[in-house]
A and B are shown apart, each in its own frame.
Chain A
Amino acid sequence: MSEFEYREPQITIHSDTREILANARRDIDRYNLRDYFIVDVDSHHVELDSWAEILEYVQDPVVRQVGKAMAANWPNARNLALSNHPPGLTMQDVGGRIPHQAQLAERVDAVDGEHPGSEHRDLTLVRRAMDSMGIAMQIVFPQPMLEVGLHPNPDIENQLIWAYNRWFTERILAQEPRVKSMLALPFNSPEGCLKTIREFGEKPGVVGFLITSQRQAPLFKNEYMPVYRELEERGLPFGFHAGPDYSVGKQMNRFISVHAMSFVTCNMVHLTNWIINGLPERFPKLKTVWIESGLAWLPFMMQRLDHEYLMRQSEAPLLKRLPSEYMQEMFYTSQPMEATNLKLLEATMDAIHAETQLMYASDWPHWDFDVPGRIAGLPFLSETAKRNILGETARKVFRL
């Protein structure tokens, strides 16, 4: 029996990231993570905290004026003007049970940054998280902007994507070589996609482009072929970042249901279109990365598409192999890694050739984030597989 000192109160939205993730630091020693090159292929910062700055980057003067007026005049629009932030997203923290999902309202002093006084707050927060989890490099994405594909006005969508990409490359990516991103493409405009790739493709920290998967995107249309060609020629990976959609929720009454399904169904649609239309045959060197749909959907897709393809080959004449074989050449991020049945997880990793195709992702600071120890602690992975998943595959895919 020992007496001991009072230590910590409850973790809240005001807790320091390093305090929230203090237990992740223990994994660094436990799994000898300093010995690994760890790349986190999916994490987030909160762009709405910087919304006034981002609105200044809107190119079109009329749209910019509307946005600034909205932010100035409407009581709740300061951090939301022009955006299509879905109200249901505020269900994500399970009624305050998972505070870091709601916000990281911690104190950041200028002295915390490596460039006192000038460093953007978000950069300090990202660095705190990386250091707490033993991560060398982090691919960082926005949050509500990942819903922008559901925006009712495609012109505003395009303006917001351009403004965010400019702001992010200048204010964040250019300041810290450990932070990278795949930038969103304005997918309702193939010309806009090309312009975006040409403008930002060589900016520091830009390691690829993506579409925000929550959108009605007929990605098999001929207008998109120049976009895929441009990415392929530049050797830039093409990502599909999942998100929630409440239109699924019209048939579902609880956020758990909406989240469990819609983060996966959006990528199921795109992956099916991508394969059945023979896009892997048309652009064999273009690497696709499927982000934030977890892993459990993949063996389902492999079996389902193979099963139907064998009976209906004439509807997918460009394919020379089974759909699952193309899937074994695609890349996937690991989070949220469904690990409630390790036998199924092992079979899934085997099916997708995880040793060469899977890349670790934390999704920090979201409510279902995964620490690197999640991969390091898996009993069935070889040492090589662990190293590849935690960072070596990302090093190759993103030329880090």
Chain B
Amino acid sequence: MVKDLASTTVGVFRVEGKLYAYENTCPHQGGPVCQGLLIPRVEEKLNASQGAEGFRFDESDPRLVCPWHGFEFSVKTGCHPGKAEIRLTQFEVEEEGELVYVRV
């Protein structure tokens, strides 16, 4: 889910029961990253002789894809998979009953 808060917008995502909150501003050009597609990581499978055997989804690593230009961020870390320094601004998030609290 994505919500307005004061002067910013925050996206909150639940992965394997845990909540993650990120600012809805992409480190690339400022796009609405939290309004992007959530999709598992794509990995390339290699065989024993290093030959490529095609792509497959890795469901354990969901990615948030910025809809402006496609930068992908691992939801669990907030980092771009190819360059960890490119990362989302993360907020603390807590859950109390049915309420979710985010510290910005």
> A residues touching B (Cβ–Cβ < 8 Å)?
1-11, 20, 22-24, 26-27, 94, 96-100, 367-371, 373-374
Contacts and interface: CB of A to CB of B under 8 A. Distances in A.
Chain B interface bracket (under 10, 10 to 19, 20 to 34, 35 or more): 20 to 34
16 contacts: A1-B94, A1-B103, A2-B101, A2-B102, A2-B104, A7-B4, A7-B9, A9-B2, A9-B35, A11-B67, A20-B32, A20-B67, A23-B30, A97-B39, A98-B69, A99-B67
Nearest to A97: B65
Contact of A100 (B65, B67, B103): B67
Nearest to A10: B35
A8 B24 CA distance: 11
Contact of B6 (A2, A24, A100, A369): A2
Contact of A5 (B3, B65, B67): B3
Given A11-B35, A11-B67, A20-B67, A4 B30 contact: no
Contacts, number: 81
Nearest to B10: A4
B97 to A, nearest CB: 12
Given A4-B4, A5-B4, A97 B67 contact: yes
Interface string B1-43: 1111110011000000000000011100111100111010000
Contacts of A23: 24-26, 30-32
B38 to A, nearest CB: 8
Contact of B37 (A7, A10, A22): A10
Contact of A6 (B3, B70, B102): B3
B68 A369 contact: yes
A326 B9 CA distance: 48
Contacts of B32: 8, 11, 20, 22-23
B5 A2 contact: yes
Contacts of A2: 5-6, 101-102, 104
Contact of A97 (B5, B70, B103, B104): B70
B26 to A, nearest CB: 8
A4 B70 contact: no
A372 B21 CA distance: 28
A10 B36 contact: yes
A394 B9 CA distance: 35
Interface in B45-104: 65, 67-70, 72, 94, 99, 101-104
A79 B55 CA distance: 32
- Which residue, A11, A22, A368, has most C-beta atoms of chain B within 10 A? A11
B70 A94 contact: yes
Contact of A367 (B2, B30, B69): B69
Instruction: Enumerate the 5 nearest inter-chain pairs by beta-carbon distance, A residue then B residue, closest first.
Output: A1-B101, A97-B65, A11-B67, A11-B35, A4-B5
Given A4-B4, A7-B4, A97 B37 contact: yes
Contacts of B2: 7-9
B89 to A, nearest CB: 13
Given A2-B5, A3-B99, A370 B37 contact: no
A10 B65 CA distance: 11
